[in-house]
Amino acid sequence: MSIERRQTKNGVRWDVRLRRPDGSAYKCTFRTRKDAERFENQEIADRSRGTWIDLQAGRMTLSACAEECGSHPTGTDGGQEP
């Protein structure tokens, strides 16, 4: 976990680099160091409380969703309500 300063053509940006529980890295960018620190502290606190949610994990394309839903067997009635 780290906060790094980065200069862009639009000014200074602050990158927060963190790791998910599975070890993969992610980063979020902020305009102020204070916002970056607040985000990092919130992420760490959520993990320690067990309330951390990976927002990227919920992203799924429609085709992937349809493919996944199509792979589940339906009941003998074709999945329709009586």
Eight-state DSSP code of residue 31: S
What one-letter code names the amino acid at 63? S
Say what the pLDDT of residue 63 is.
76
Are 12 and 5 contacting, i.e. CB atoms less than 8 angstroms apart? yes
- Tens of each residue's pLDDT in the chain, 82 residues: 799 999 999 999 999 999 988 888 999 999 999 999 999 999 999 999 998 887 777 676 777 767 767 665 555 555 555 5
Q: How many CB atoms lie within 10 A of CB 57?
A: 9
Measured distance CA(30)–CA(10) in Å, rounded:
12
Say what the pLDDT of residue 56 is.
74
Eight-state DSSP code of residue 74: P
Measured distance CA(77)–CA(70) in Å, rounded:
15
